[in-house]
Structure formats: structure tokens, C-alpha cells
Homo-oligomer: A and B are copies of this chain.
């Protein structure tokens, strides 16, 4: 299911272009990669079918949406058993403030990336949704000064922008 997929240079070129702008037309893709538009369509469809491309996401500015403050919450869930952590994750994912949830190795079981309006909002979120829960043993809050997205994700050995 998550086996690696064979990607030829055309696929890689398409992925690199689409990661810069996922709305590039098949016509432009074709011109830049050097194949026919219909071939592009076929290749991209195949990449979607094989699961390499999971979907197209809109990148939004949290600050413009009234969520100018972001933070990472390290959460210990005790006891760390399936019947507790399953509902915990689902509840956290459903929070409108949550962006990503990581299940990690190490003493802090979960890392939750949240976007809130301000400090008061963050305090409310931590108190009401985390520390007040019985299964949450400990929460550590770190504010995000700044964050950078990195270059396009590509297979090892093709480390070019």
C-alpha cells in the first residue's frame, strides 16, 4: 500500500512543476516538460491513481483568517492505551484550531500544531480542551515565532529545485 513507486524523469519533472504551482495547465506542463498535453493528463492521472498525489490543497494565510498566533502543544496522554488515545486524537483533530497532530516517539506522546486568534484564545484552548481532560497528563506550550515551508518533496537522489 505504501510501497515506493517507479517514477521516470517525466513524472519527476511534472511533480516538481506542480509543487511550485499546482494550478499549472496541462498545456503549460506539456510545453515545459516536452511531451503532449494528453500525455501530461495521463501521467498526472496515473500519479493520482497510484497515490503519489494525494490531492490539491489551498494554502491559506492564518493571520488573514484571524488566527495570527500559532503554537505547538506537546501532550502526554496517560495511560497511553488505544482506548484512550484513539478518542483523544479524534477529538483534537476536530478542533477548529488544530492544524496537524503528530504521534511521536519519546516522552511527549503527541505534538499538536494549532492556530489561534491570540494569547487569550490559546489559553482557553489549552485549559478547556487539554489540561482539563483526565487522560491528558501534561501539556507543554511553545509559541511559533516564524515558520518556513521547505523545497518540494522528491525522491532521494533527485535533490534539485
Contacts and interface: CB of A to CB of B under 8 A. Distances in A.
Q: What does DSSP make chain A's interface, helix, strand, loop or mixed?
A: mixed
A117 interface: yes
A77 to B, nearest CB: 13
A5 B67 CA distance: 11
B58 A51 contact: no
A64 B93 contact: no
A43 to B, nearest CB: 13
Interface of A: 2-5, 7, 15, 18-19, 21-23, 50-68, 72, 89, 92-96, 98-106, 108, 111, 115-117, 121, 140, 142-151, 153-156, 158-159
15 contacts: A2-B63, A4-B63, A52-B64, A53-B58, A56-B58, A65-B154, A93-B148, A94-B151, A98-B151, A99-B150, A102-B147, A103-B144, A103-B146, A103-B147, A104-B145
